[in-house]
Amino acid sequence: MDKRKLRIGMGIASAVLLGTEVLIGLYAKGWVRGSLGDILVVILLYTLARTVSPHRPRFGWVLPAVIFGFSYCVEFLQLWGFCDRFGITNRFLRVLIGTGFSWGDLLCYTIGILPCIFCEYLLKKRESA
């Protein structure tokens, strides 16, 4: 696939996902906010990374693995009380970073990374064709 087309497609996907995340954050309640938002944020990080750098690393699993690890690190920082320990009082930053650890969030991040891995598989398949 042409790198330019990939970048544009991922940019559009990022914009749609970001808009969806904002709407979820403002208006949603229940499982949509608690689970779907966490699943989509991992996909959003992936599409943003692909927008900025459409080049695939030699091993296709690298980008999804980095995003997966980052997601887990942020969640474990919540367990540690990162915002409170560093005196972060800005509401936007507290929502962005998060303040409450949840094992369910880790499951949502795991579910969210699966489409990213599948996308990498498809990109590799197109490159080799």
Residue 127: per-residue pLDDT:
79
pLDDT of the residue at 1: 59
Question: Which are the contacts of 74, defined by CB distance < 8 A and separation ≥ 6?
Answer: 97, 98
Place of tokens 């991040």: 109
Average pLDDT of the chain, as a whole number: 91
Residue 63 contacts residue 116 (beta carbons within 8 Å): yes
**Among the listed residues 37, 12, 36, 9, the one whose alpha carbon sits nearest the alpha carbon of residue 22:** 37
Q: What is the pLDDT of residues 4-49, one digit of tens each?
A: 898 999 999 999 999 999 899 889 999 998 899 999 999 999 999 9
H helix or E strand, kind and range, residue 13: helix 3-27
Among left, alpha and beta (phi > 0; psi -120 to 50; other), residue 78 is: alpha
Q: Provide the whole-model pTM.
A: 0.89
